[in-house]
Amino acid sequence: MNAPLNLSPRQLLQQRLQDAQTATPHVTVTPQSAHIGALIGGVDLHQPLTAAEVNTIHSALLQWKVVFFREQHLSHEQHVAFSSQFGELTIGHPVFGHVDGHPELYSIAKHRRANSYSSEPERRPWTGWHTDVTAAVNPPAGSILRGVTIPPYGGDTQWTNLVAAYEALSEPLKAFLNTLRGEHRFSPPAGANPTAEYLELIQQNTLVSEHPLITLHPETGEKILFISPGFLKTISGLHTRESRVLLELLWEHAVRSEFTVRFKWEPGSIAFWDNRSTAHVAPQDIFDLEFDRQLYRSTLVGTVPVGADGRPSTAVQGNPVLAAHGAAF
């Protein structure tokens, strides 16, 4: 179906999803908030999807930025098979490893090595928020997280829509940000003292990249406020205080509640998010509870972001994160 002329990116996404749902009337897409998040029903992820079902899920993902599924108790093999229908999969994590025997999966455990700090970080509104692996020159295109062991309460994850955050900025600030780039790297949050193991891992697998602050979505053309709080450390070319004050303004803006959705996990829940246009935050309340929490994540190989000024991101140190390709581990 030919799209009408002069539609905005948002209207084009809405039209694409409507057309996809017409071809798959059994698939339901239920929005979860004004700007982000939709619950998808009517599909069985244990089995290969039809091309039309893949298109509907992908179309819902592009419009709603993160989509959720319930009652999908997948094995590791089924998780990998489902994910692979949407692109090539990276190694579980380029710094912190992967699940034994399943190089495409990363264990999101309550006390995983990525959280190896010996002191509590300074808590600010954006602490913990991040876009996955933006220290790489080609951050993952998407991430698929599967809930296995879930506490009876607590442990919710939140996502924010970085397209909506960009659109809500003033025009003069947008114009300024379009000219800026920032350095992304792995390091602990402010105030946290990393363990020796954490430092050794990031030193052995150092990734540092410079990304535009405003990127263009490679599929939708939308402008994105690409400012992962967990990875973006400084704005290139600005004085230290200028960089810090501007970043704190943008981070606080990006996690405003109206841009976000909060998901309550259940065993068998799956969250699939567009890593190019979102940031998310892992729950901290689980550390105040005695319950265990175990999830597993796969990630889709991403492309090098391109800024609103047409310039691509550049690698400062480290290699692109490429496909796992079932390598023997």
Gyration radius (Cα) of the chain, Å = 19
d(CA 267, CA 147): 5
149: tokens are 């062991």
- One-letter amino acid identity for 158? Q
Number of H helices, E strands in the chain: 7, 16
Concatenated DSSP letters for 253-309?
A: HHT-GGGEEEE---TT-EEEEETTSEEEE--SGGGGSS---EEEEEEE--PPPBBTT
Pairing type for strands 294-300 and 106-109 reads antiparallel
How many other β-carbons are positioned within 10 Å of the β-carbon of residue 47? Answer: 10
Catalytically annotated residues: 130, 132, 280, 297
Tokens of 121: 């970080």
Backbone angles phi, psi at 260, to 5 degrees: -115, 165
3-state helix, strand and coil shares in percent for the chain, rounded to the nearest 5: 25, 25, 50
Q: Which amino acid is at 121?
A: P
Distances (CA, A) of 158 to 140, 237, 269, 280, 306: 18, 32, 14, 5, 26
Q: What is the C-alpha separation between 110 and 311, in angstroms, rounded? A: 39
Residues pairing with 182 in the sheet: 211, 235
CA atoms within 13 A on the CB side of 176: 11
Residue 43: phi, psi to the nearest 5? -130, 150
